[in-house]
Each structure stands twice: as structure tokens, then as C-alpha cells.
């Protein structure tokens, strides 16, 4: 019988995965059987099911974090461009991705889009695909386009893997990712109900582990974490409940999350790593799997700055819904410096919050921001103001 681990032990494992810029766990997965391949992807969304169905490991790439010294990467980017492309390039140039066989650069912004071209020029032997998604969401227009894009991805990965990707394999992978998304939602729901049991600095690490381990392993980890945290009482504090928004691409340092929590906030929702909950419900496991993935994207996927909202009346509604559903008392907008999507989106979201008197603050960060005291003071003042002046 397997030994039951404590929350601290589970989180320590996730922390080790998070800290490991050699991606040892993913490397070992690849080495464990001949012919295995790894496909990396950047934020904000790719259909990892197709990579998995090809027998490959989807590897979520979220930059180099706060501990990576960027030397080469800075030679490719001007000072006014965010940090994630330069630290990602640093990892590439220094050989940290030498085990990665393919890279997907999703449609999120011009910087990541152009990084796909840099990657092609720097690493001509690697499979590189810019993964475009429709901004038109009807079945007959955006849907037809997207299904063909998914088929092209499927064919590209099949070519890379040297074997076809069958419908049956896709359905099996969809079922596994459905299970993973369900568990991710359970963790998020649990955190919203009892945030003192599931601090975001932990939840973040547990979710982040899902970027580098196989989905089956991550689902097991989520189950284990869910069981462990509910078995270990933790004191409830007089914190206010906030939603963190704008953190969907370049990641803040973990210390920033801790600073927000230490300042008296429970984070009850966020947009970290949206790839693991981009599709909001189970994707059907019967019928045409490509069409099922496409329809899920078109009609039941998350909203974020990188996605067009055709209906003005619905703009930002997802955030208002989250405030209501998660019983949040305020929103903290945290955006990476020079992040056009998040920073251009922010005023629109702020205006929606103001209409319904939801307090909010905002600041910027980089993945290597070092000084957390200002964040702590700002978030602390925000939390105090909510406690003192918000309606009971």
C-alpha cells in the first residue's frame, strides 16, 4: 500500500519541479522508453490532448522564472519588451530544451507570435508551429477554420512521431484531460470555499507541476493534494477574498503570490496557467474528436485578453461572474510589464467592476521582480480598506 503523503511533502515535490530549470522530470519521462518525444508550448492555450494522443509529453513553458540569469536572451530583445520571451530564449540557447522535439507558440500576442519566427531561425531542425485560433466563433466559419488547423497540427505531430494519431487515441486523451480539468476545478472550488486550507502559493505549485509531468501523473497528484489538504486543519484568518487577474502569460515570482497572501488576502480565483481550465466542461468522448475539441473551444472556453468578445454586453462578464461565484471582495490586477493584452484589457475590466462597486487595485511585475515590499504594502492597504469600508 502506497504511503500517504502530507500536504507539505506534496508541495515540496511540486516546488522541486518548479525550481528545476533542467526539466529533469520531463527528461526522465522521455528517456524511459525509446522513441518518446516532448512538445513544448507557451501560454495561453493549446489542445494538449492532441500532443498526448501522439504519445508525446506536452511541456508547458512559462519562461525562466526569477532564478534564471538572462544573458543571451537580452541580446534579442529591446528593454521595452516583456521578460518571458527573453528568458525562454535563454533556456533554448543554453540547451535546457535540448530534449524538446517540438514547440507550439499559441496566438496570444505579437511578442509570442514573433518568437515563433525567431525559434524557426535559431532552431531550424526543431518542429515549430504557431498555433492560431479563430476569433470568430460560429461553427461554420471559425469552427471550420479551426478544425482544419487542428487537423494540420495532428498531421504535423503524427509526422514528428512517425505514426498516425487515431481518433481512438484522441478520445482516450480527451477523457484523461477531462479528468484532469475536473480535478483542477475541484481544487479551485475547494480553495474558494476554504482558502485557508489551500493557500494559492501551494495551489500554484500544484498546478504548475501539471506543466511538466504527464497528465495521468498530475491527476494523481491533484487527487492526493485534495485528500491531504482536507485532512489537515489549518487556521482560518481574517483575510479578505480577492481575485488575481492578468497573470495568464509571464508568471510573477512565487514570492509575489506569497506577499499578497501575507498582506491579508486570500486569492479565491486567478488566471494562472489557463491551459488547464481553458475548456470549461468535459469535451465529448464520442463522435469526431477534432470537432469536439473545436466546438469546446468555440462555445465553452475561458475568456481572457487574448480572445475577442464579440458581444459588448458580455465584455468582462466572466470576471463579474467570478466575483459573485467566488464571493470575492475585490480584484487585484497584476500584469507583466509591457504586456499589451493584459494592460490594454485592464481599463475595460476595471470599468465593469466600478459599475458594481467592486474595489480593485493594479500593479505590474516581471518574472524576476525582486522587491516585494511595495506589493505587500499595496495589497495590505487594499485588504485593510476592504475590511474597514466595504459593506457588510
Partner 1 sequence: MTQRIDPTRAAGVPKAEVVKELSMLKQKDMIAGNYEALTSAPQTGRKVASTFVPGNLNELIMCFDLLNNLPEINAIQNGMRKVSGELILEAEKHGHSEDVCTYVKADLGMMAKGNLSPNGKPLPRPDVLLLSYTGCFTFMKWFELVRDEYKCPTVMLHVPYQADGQVTDNMRSYIVKQLRETVIPTLEKVSGVKFDIDRLRGYLAESAKAEDDFVWVMESAKNKPSPIDAYFGGVYYIGPIFTAFRGTPDATEYYRLLRGEIEERIRLGLGPITPEGDMKEQRYRLVVEGPPNWTHFREFWKMFHDEGAVVVASTYTKVGGTYDLGFRHDPRNPLESLADYCLDCYTNRSLPQRVGQIEKYMNDYQADGLVINSIKSCNSFSAGQLMILREIEKRTGKPGAFIETDLVDPRYFSAANVKNRLESYFQMIDQKRASAHAA
Shortest distance (Å) from residue 250 CB to partner 1: 13
- Strands 102-106 and 38-41, how do they pair? parallel
- Strands 57-60 and 330-336, how do they pair? unpaired
State yes or no: residue 297 binds partner 1 (CB under 8 A). Answer: no
Half-sphere exposure of 221 (CA within 13 A, CB side): 26
- Strands 38-41 and 240-245, how do they pair? unpaired
DSSP code of residue 41: E
Which grid cell sits at 4?
500517504
Q: Single out the residue of 36, 145, 185, 284 in contact with partner 1 (rule: CB under 8 A).
A: 145
Shortest distance (Å) from residue 315 CB to partner 1: 7
> Which of 9-17, 109-117, 174-182, 381-389 is the region at the interface with partner 1 (rule: CB under 8 A)?
109-117
Which grid cell sits at 15?
516546488
State yes or no: residue 135 binds partner 1 (CB under 8 A). Answer: yes
State yes or no: residue 85 binds partner 1 (CB under 8 A). Answer: yes
> Which of 33-41, 95-103, 251-259, 300-308 is the region at the interface with partner 1 (rule: CB under 8 A)?
300-308
State yes or no: residue 115 binds partner 1 (CB under 8 A). Answer: yes
**Which residue stretches of the chain are H helix?**
7-19, 24-31, 48-53, 84-93, 110-122, 144-161, 167-193, 200-209, 215-231, 254-262, 289-299, 317-325, 340-355, 373-389
Count Cβ neighbours within 10 Å for each residue of 308-330 and write b for 16 or more, e otherwise: ebeeeeebbebbbebbeebebbb
- Report how far residue 74's alpha carbon sits from residue 195's, in angstroms, rounded to the nearest whole number: 39
State yes or no: residue 77 binds partner 1 (CB under 8 A). Answer: yes
State yes or no: residue 299 binds partner 1 (CB under 8 A). Answer: no
State yes or no: residue 298 binds partner 1 (CB under 8 A). Answer: no
Which grid cell sits at 300?
465553452
Contact criterion met (CB below 8 Å) for 45 and 106: yes
State yes or no: residue 180 binds partner 1 (CB under 8 A). Answer: no
Q: Single out the residue of 81, 126, 158, 302 in contact with partner 1 (rule: CB under 8 A).
A: 81
Q: Single out the residue of 8, 71, 144, 236 in contact with partner 1 (rule: CB under 8 A).
A: 144
- 140: Cα separation from own chain's centroid: 29
Classified as helix, coil or strand, 310 is coil
Shortest distance (Å) from residue 66 CB to partner 1: 20
Nearer to partner 1, 108 or 254 (CB): 108
State yes or no: residue 252 binds partner 1 (CB under 8 A). Answer: no
Nearer to partner 1, 196 or 308 (CB): 308
State yes or no: residue 310 binds partner 1 (CB under 8 A). Answer: yes
270, β-bridge pairs: 244
- Report how far residue 228's alpha carbon sits from residue 300's, in angstroms, rounded to the nearest whole number: 31
Contact criterion met (CB below 8 Å) for 282 and 49: no
State yes or no: residue 308 binds partner 1 (CB under 8 A). Answer: yes
State yes or no: residue 367 binds partner 1 (CB under 8 A). Answer: no
Nearest alpha-carbon partner for 148 in 290, 286, 50: 290
Shortest distance (Å) from residue 337 CB to partner 1: 6
Binding mask 312-331 for partner 1 (x = CB under 8 A): x--x----------------
State yes or no: residue 347 binds partner 1 (CB under 8 A). Answer: yes
Shortest distance (Å) from residue 113 CB to partner 1: 6
Shortest distance (Å) from residue 71 CB to partner 1: 14
Q: Single out the residue of 21, 36, 93, 113 in contact with partner 1 (rule: CB under 8 A).
A: 113
Q: Single out the residue of 55, 142, 359, 380 in contact with partner 1 (rule: CB under 8 A).
A: 142
Amino acid at each position: 500500500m502506497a504511503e500517504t503523503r502530507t500536504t507539505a511533502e506534496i508541495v515540496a515535490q511540486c516546488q522541486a519541479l518548479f525550481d528545476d530549470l533542467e526539466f529533469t522530470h520531463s527528461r526522465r519521462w522521455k528517456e524511459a522508453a525509446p522513441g518518446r518525444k516532448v512538445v513544448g508550448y507557451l501560454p495561453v492555450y493549446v489542445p494538449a490532448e492532441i500532443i498526448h494522443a501522439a504519445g508525446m509529453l506536452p511541456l508547458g513553458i512559462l519562461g525562466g522564472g526569477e532564478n534564471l540569469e538572462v544573458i543571451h536572451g537580452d541580446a534579442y530583445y529591446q528593454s521595452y519588451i516583456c521578460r518571458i520571451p527573453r528568458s525562454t530564449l535563454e533556456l533554448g540557447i543554453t540547451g535546457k530544451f535540448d530534449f524538446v522535439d517540438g514547440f507550439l507558440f499559441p496566438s496570444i500576442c505579437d511578442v509570442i507570435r514573433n518568437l515563433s519566427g525567431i525559434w524557426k531561425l535559431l532552431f531550424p531542425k526543431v518542429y515549430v508551429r504557431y498555433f492560431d485560433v479563430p476569433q470568430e466563433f460560429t461553427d461554420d466559419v471559425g469552427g471550420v477554420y479551426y478544425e482544419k488547423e487542428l487537423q494540420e497540427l495532428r498531421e504535423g505531430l503524427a509526422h514528428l512521431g512517425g505514426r498516425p494519431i487515431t481518433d481512438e487515441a484522441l478520445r482516450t486523451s480527451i477523457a484523461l484531460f477531462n479528468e484532469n480539468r475536473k480535478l483542477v476545478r475541484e481544487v479551485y472550488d475547494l480553495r474558494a470555499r476554504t482558502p485557508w486550507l489551500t493557500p494559492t502559493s501551494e495551489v500554484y505549485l500544484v498546478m504548475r507541476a501539471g506543466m511538466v509531468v504527464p497528465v495521468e501523473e498530475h491527476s494523481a497528484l491533484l487527487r492526493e493534494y485534495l485528500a491531504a489538504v482536507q485532512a489537515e486543519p489549518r487556521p482560518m484568518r481574517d483575510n479578505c477574498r480577492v481575485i488575481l487577474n492578468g497573470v495568464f502569460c509571464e508568471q510573477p515570482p512565487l514570492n509575489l503570490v506569497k506577499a499578497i497572501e501575507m498582506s491579508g488576502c486570500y486569492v479565491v480565483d486567478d488566471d494562472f496557467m489557463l491551459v488547464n481550465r481553458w475548456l470549461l466542461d468535459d469535451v465529448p468522448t464520442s463522435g469526431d474528436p477534432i470537432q469536439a475539441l473545436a466546438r469546446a473551444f468555440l462555445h465553452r472556453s475561458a475568456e481572457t485578453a487574448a480572445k475577442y468578445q464579440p458581444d459588448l454586453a458580455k465584455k468582462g462578464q466572466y470576471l463579474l461572474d467570478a466575483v459573485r461565484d467566488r464571493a470575492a471582495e475585490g480584484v487585484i490586477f497584476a500584469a507583466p510589464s509591457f504586456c499589451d493584452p493584459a494592460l490594454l484589457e485592464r481599463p475595460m475590466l476595471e470599468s465593469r467592476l466600478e459599475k458594481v462597486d467592486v474595489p480593485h487595485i493594479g500593479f505590474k511585475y516581471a518574472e524576476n521582480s525582486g522587491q516585494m515590499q511595495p506589493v505587500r504594502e499595496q495589497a495590505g492597504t487594499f485588504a485593510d480598506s476592504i475590511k474597514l469600508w466595504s459593506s457588510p
